């Protein structure tokens, strides 16, 4: 494989240097579970991973719950086709379990130290690796396990070499503070996009101040910010696509979101790129953000947003985007990086 060279950023103090965009493997998990994206072609998924690596992306974000193990298995199959010295870093998660007898049931949020051990062993088998590059707790558990219990277990797994770095996904500052007292939080994975900006108030500044790397997810708001969506396309989503039931894809939110997309097209045109690349680059302009996780199910989709890895939005661009957010009332949270102060 011949790879393109992309710039890299440090992922906090983890020791990893990552490309500003990484490939998200949620959708390639396929259908048949609560948060599926409809049927997927596994061959296309593997080709997409290979193409992303060829374009220079050096990390993949997956999770056991994506397709109930299927996403991790597809990642393993893709890695087997890539020369060892060109393989991307693999980030996965723990803390959610499912019932094989009832795959469409809502997942269970379980993160006791004993269950985490079993979950990690299962991920190692599905991924076909000896060590997980980054292990993240997917969501705060609901089984009564306190953060001291599950974060302490992740610290232990790191010390024993089962994982190289550890992080938290979907956790607030109070949880981050408690975890940091036990062992350094290498990474935080929060939802963050021009439409979902709330973590810019506290979690991003905390992470920047503590040298915790941030990899944001859903920077395209599950497709709304690609520039390719319309009300007609939303109405045509497959019946088993979770987005049909999401408030983000219902009125009045969707009308505001699509109006915002149209308002920022001039920014994309000035830079000779896509709306999607602008939306992702906007998240990368915030202090503390190391990278953005972007999903794709076909190689052409990667090509549609990979410009974000090298796109530098100007202060004037950021002002224009903030003005578009005000005018359309799309989303919530701070409007641009200059509004947020990071204290060391």
Q: Which of 186, 216, 184, 180 is nearest to 200 (CA)?
A: 216
Residue pLDDT, tens place only, 241-264: 777 777 777 788 888 999 999 999
Inside any domain, residue 63: yes
Decide if pLDDT at 343 tops 70. no
Q: What is the pLDDT of residue 2?
A: 57
> Is 230 inside any structural domain?
no
pTM exceeds 0.85, yes or no: yes
pLDDT for the residue 36:
85
Residue 5's contacts (CB-CB under 8 Å, 6 or more residues apart) are 56
Report percent pLDDT > 90 for the chain. 83
**pLDDT higher than threshold 80 for residue 235:** no
127 domain-assigned: yes
How many domains, the chain? Answer: 1
pLDDT of residue 242: 72
Question: What value, to the nearest 5°, has the Cα angle with vertex 71 and ends 81 and 115?
Answer: 120
Residue 1 maps to a domain: no
Average pLDDT over residues 91-106: 94
Both tokens of 39, joined, read 């049927």
Tokens standing for residue 141 = 């558990």
pLDDT at 344: 56
**167 in a domain, yes or no?**
yes
Q: Which pLDDT tens digit goes with each residue over 106-152?
A: 999 999 999 999 999 999 999 999 999 999 999 999 999 999 999 99
> Which pLDDT does position 247 carry in this prediction?
74
Q: Is the pLDDT of residue 223 over 90?
A: no
Q: Which residues pair with 217 in a beta bridge?
A: 191
Residue-level pLDDT at 174: 98
Mean per-residue pLDDT for 5-26?
A: 97
CATH number for 152: 3.20.20.100
Residue 1 has pLDDT above 70, yes or no: no
Tell the residue number behind the tokens 């990368």, with chain if given: 284
What are the angstrom distances between the C-alpha of 13 and each of 67, 209, 214, 265? 31, 12, 11, 36
Residues 6+ apart with CB under 8 A from 198: 332, 333
- Integer Cα distance of 84 and 128 in angstroms: 13
pLDDT of 32 strictly over 90: no
Among candidate residues 277, 261, 179, the one with its CA nearest the CA of residue 228: 261
Inter-axis angle of helices 315-328 and 275-284, nearest 10: 110
Residue 90 lies in a domain: yes
What was the pLDDT predicted at 248? 75
Number of Cβ within 10 Å of residue 102's Cβ equals 8
Q: Is residue 114 part of a domain?
A: yes
For the four alpha carbons of 248, 253, 255 and 259, in that order, the dihedral sign comes to negative
Domain that residue 182 falls in: 17-189
| Pairwise CA distance, residues 292 & 237, whole Å | 25
What Cα–Cα distance (Å) separates residue 278 from each residue in 76, 306, 313?
A: 31, 10, 8
Asked whether residue 88 is domain-assigned, the answer is: yes
Q: Which residues contact 137 (CB under 8 A, 6 or more apart)?
A: 93, 94, 95, 111, 150, 151, 154, 167, 168, 169, 171
* Residue 265: pLDDT band with limits 50, 70, 90: very high
Q: Under a CB-based contact definition with an 8 Å cutoff, are residues 197 and 281 in contact?
A: no
pLDDT higher than threshold 90 for residue 309: yes
| Interacting residues of 113 by C-beta distance below 8 A, sequence separation 6+ | 145, 149, 150, 152, 153
Terminal Cα distance for the chain, rounded? 42
DSSP H or E segment with residue 60? strand 59-61
pLDDT of residue 240: 77
Structure confidence at residue 246 (pLDDT):
74
The bridge status of strand 213-216 relative to strand 108-109 is unpaired
**Which tens digit of pLDDT belongs to each residue from 76-90?**
999 999 999 999 999
At residue 12's C-alpha, the angle toward residues 10 and 18, to 5°, is 35
Which residue has tokens 């007609």? Answer: 232
């Amino acid at each position: 494989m011949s790879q393109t060279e992309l710039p890299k950023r440090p992922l906090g103090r983890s020791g990893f240097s990552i490309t500003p965009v990484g490939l998200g493997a949620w959708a390639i998990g396929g259908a048949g579970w609560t948060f599926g994206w409809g049927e997927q072609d596994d061959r296309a998924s593997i080709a997409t991973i290979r193409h992303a690596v060829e374009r220079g992306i050096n990390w993949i974000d997956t999770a056991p719950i994506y397709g109930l193990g299927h996403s991790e298995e597809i990642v393993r199959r893709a890695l087997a086709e890539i020369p060892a010295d060109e393989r991307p870093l693999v980030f996965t998660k723990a803390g959610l379990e499912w019932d094989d007898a009832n795959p469409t049931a809502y997942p269970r949020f379980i993160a006791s130290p004993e269950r985490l051990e079993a979950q990690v062993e299962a991920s190692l088998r599905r991924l076909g690796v000896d060590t997980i590059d980054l292990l993240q707790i997917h969501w705060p558990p609901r089984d009564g396990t306190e953060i001291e219990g599950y974060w302490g277990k992740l610290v232990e797994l790191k010390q024993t070499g089962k994982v190289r770095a550890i992080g938290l996904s979907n956790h607030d500052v109070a949880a981050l503070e408690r975890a940091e007292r036990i062992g350094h939080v290498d990474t935080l994975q929060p939802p963050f996009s021009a439409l979902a900006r709330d973590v810019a108030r506290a979690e991003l500044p905390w992470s920047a101040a503590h040298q915790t790397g941030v990899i944001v997810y859903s920077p395209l708001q599950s497709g709304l910010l690609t520039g390719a969506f319309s009300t007609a396309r939303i109405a045509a989503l497959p019946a088993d696509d979770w987005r049909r039931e999401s408030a983000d894809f219902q009125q009045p939110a969707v009308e505001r979101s699509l109006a915002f997309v149209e308002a920022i097209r001039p920014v994309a045109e000035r830079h000779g790129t896509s709306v999607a690349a602008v939306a992702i680059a906007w998240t990368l302009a915030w202090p503390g953000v190391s990278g953005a996780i972007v999903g794709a199910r076909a190689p052409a989709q990667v090509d549609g947003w990979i410009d974000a890895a090298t796109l530098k939005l100007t202060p004037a661009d950021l002002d224009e985007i903030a003005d578009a957010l005000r005018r359309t009332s799309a989303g919530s949270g701070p409007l641009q990086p200059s509004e947020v102060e990071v204290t060391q």
